[in-house]
Amino acid sequence: GAGRTGRPGARSRTSAAERLTARAAERFAGQLVLVTGAGSGIGRATAYAFAEAGARIVAVDRDPEGAARTAELSRLLGAPEAWAEVTDVSDERAMEKLADRVTDSHGVVDVLVNNAGIGLAGSFLDTTADDWRKVLDVNLWGVLHGCRLFGQRMTERGQGGHIVNTASAAAYLPSRTLPAYSTSKAAVLMLSECLRAELAPHGIGVTAVCPGLVDTNITATTRFTGVSDQEQERMRAKSSRLYRIRAYPPEKVAAALLRGVLDNTAVVPVTPEARGARLLSRLSPAA
């Protein structure tokens, strides 16, 4: 771009954001990018970031309005085409149908972002088997279905691709309050690293994105175990205040995610606390 100073002959200085945009456009223009949980928060911001790079977008969410809105704005932002798909990622049959439908209509997905997830908070002893099932169904099985169904199609096509899984800093940061959520995310992180080794010979990259606290609607779908229904609301309000105070925007997660794909990075911690915790967990794993 033109130098900021505007002086003729001044060395052209582009910001990191501009360079990322240019690299992303070069790589992703015309590619097919499928994002799950695209109806809100990080998934929506990710769809927009790929749309701005000229990718074709499939916005998948169980919330029809959220998915439709993301597809619509993706087109306005530069996606040559964008579609909304209503699917529950934890439903294996529905995911198979989705994979068939998308492949038949638009071709093999070049970049898959398994991002849909839900929260679950409360001590281990307050967490029932049913609570565990619910969070693992979405956060782990949803990612598994996506990796398997779209990964198979990518390897069959033989032209490479990339899979991104949204884990969390909770994957490597033990806490007393998020045992089930953290376990689901630790599984996603390990799955991503195993899959990365398996798919590398196929030219398919795998990246796990590990955000800390990001200002999204996740608290709206977070269940707090061991508390009454009235308490649920109070806990939700309290925790969403915390997210708002940190105010880390989903757009910054999307930018880090795009860079992770471009650089084929294995694990991308996002937010200062996620980076700090990652470093600590590797220095003193038993702490």
Query: 48, 181, 243, 248: which one is catalytic?
Result: 181
Span of 60-68, 96-104, 127-135, 231-239 interacting with ligand NAD by CB under 6 A: 60-68
Minimum distance, C-beta of residue 72 to ligand NAD, in the bound complex (Å): 15
Minimum distance, C-beta of residue 84 to ligand NAD, in the bound complex (Å): 12
Look up residue 210 and give its two tokens.
């590990």
Q: Exactly one of 32, 33, 41, 74 binds ligand NAD (CB under 6 A); which one?
A: 41
Write out the binding residues for ligand NAD, residues 62-101 only, by CB under 6 A: 62-63, 66, 88-90
101 vs 192: CA distance, rounded Å: 25
What Å distances lie between residue 13 and 4, 6, 8, 9, 143, CA to CA? 7, 10, 13, 11, 40
Span of 153-161, 216-224, 232-240, 261-269 interacting with ligand NAD by CB under 6 A: 216-224
Write out the binding residues for ligand NAD, residues 194-213 only, by CB under 6 A: 211, 213
Q: What is the CA radius of gyration of the chain?
A: 19
206 vs 251: CA distance, rounded Å: 21
274 vs 173: CA distance, rounded Å: 9
By CB under 6 A, tell whether 122 contacts ligand NAD. no
Annotation marks residue 181 as catalytic = yes
Report phi then psi at 228, rounded to 5. Answer: -70, 170
Write out the binding residues for ligand NAD, residues 157-196 only, by CB under 6 A: 166, 168
- Using CB under 6 A as the criterion, which residues of the chain lie in contact with ligand NAD when the complex forms? 36-37, 39-43, 61-63, 66, 88-90, 115-118, 138, 142, 166, 168, 211, 213-214, 216-218, 221
Q: Annotated active-site positions, please?
A: 181
